[in-house]
Structure formats: C-alpha cells, structure tokens
Amino acid sequence: MKREYLENLDLGNGVKLSKEQIDGIMAENGKDIEATKGKYVDYDALKTQLTEANTTIEGFKKLDIEGIKKAADDWKTKAEKAEADAAAKIAEMQFDGLLSSTVTAVKGKNAKAIRALLDVDTLKTSKNQEADIKAALEGLKKENAYLFEAEQVPPPPGAPGAGKDQINNNPPAHTMAQSIKESMFGGK
C-alpha cells in the first residue's frame, strides 16, 4: 500500500485521514509485509539452485552413455595391460638377478658370453629356475671350461711344494730374520 493512496482517500464529506492515522496504518502494513517477506528470504538462493540443477540435467541429457561405458572399458583394459607389463618386468628382473648371482657363484668369467650360450627362454619358463640354471651352467662349464675360473684345490698339508707360491713359482717370502738384516745393514 502506498502513502499517497491513504493521503488522497476521501472518507466522505471531504474528511481525510490524519497524518498520525496514515503513519499508524503504514506501520501496521509494514509489519505484515516484513512477516510475509521472512517466509521467502531464500527465494533468490533457491532460484539460483534451480537454474543450476536444470543446467546440470540438460548436460546429462547430452551425455553419450555408450561412449562413457566404452571409455571405462578401454581404461580397464589399459590398467590390466599395465599390470601385466609390470608383472613381466618384475619377473624379468628377478630372473636376471638369479642368473647373474648364479653365474657369479660358479665363477663365470664373462656373464654376457655365458648368457649367450644358454637357452634363456627355456630357463625363464622353468618351474624351478634356480635348479635349472645351476644345471645348465654345470653343463656349460663341462663344454666350455674356458668361460669359468679354474678351481684350485690347495695341496694337503705336508705335501711336496706345500707352502710355496704355486701360481707364480716364486720362492717363499723372506723370513723375519732376513728382513731385519736387510733393514739394518742395507744388503742381502
């Protein structure tokens, strides 16, 4: 209600409302308006939410559900392939480590040359890799002994030549007395 309406209101015989009466009516009307507005305070927020919800729904209507399913299947396939590749790499690393440590244990001179002479693919698919690698290396050692260090068995104690340096055929090292004599007198 507007104040001008009350000011121009004719009650009959030219009688009009006084300023105090108009103020009282306007105050009472203001309370009613505020009470009614309180019920609809969140109207703008709700209107915004409704607009956003409608926009989202329209976006869903445009989605290609079959395309999304296909993309999900593609990602699943990629994940399974990556998992299989990782497992294969781990198995390869474990096999290489086992082969290298076994070649070292049997005193192989050149791991690359030894590996080239082995049937690596068969050894990789073996159920008992460790035993099969050892057996293959023992067979290779018999056929190609030059690829492995010769095992030197020390002579039994008291055997002729025991205590001598057999590798270089050098005489035994100086005795302590000879070393003292050389250091004190400067000669042999």
d(CA 19, CA 150): 126
Longest CA span, the chain:
158
Structure tokens at 46: 């709700």
Of 143, 140, 135, 148, which Cα lies nearest the Cα of 108?
148
Q: Give me the average pLDDT of each 10-residue run along the chain (188 residues).
A: 79 82 86 78 84 88 85 92 92 90 87 88 89 90 85 70 53 66 69
Question: Are 103 and 137 within 8 A, CB to CB?
Answer: yes
pLDDT value of position 86:
92
pLDDT value of position 186:
67
Structure tokens at 50: 């409704």
Q: Name the 3-class secondary structure at 17.
A: coil
Q: How far is CA 144 from CA 57, 103, 149, in A?
A: 76, 14, 11
pLDDT value of position 174:
59
d(CA 164, CA 130): 39
Could you tell me the pTM of the whole model?
0.45
pLDDT value of position 161:
62
Q: What are phi and psi of 22, to 5 degrees?
A: -65, -45
Q: Let me know the angle formed at the C-alpha of 34 by 29 and 39, rounded to the nearest 5 degrees.
A: 130
Q: Which residue carries 């009650």 as its tokens?
A: 11
pLDDT value of position 80:
93
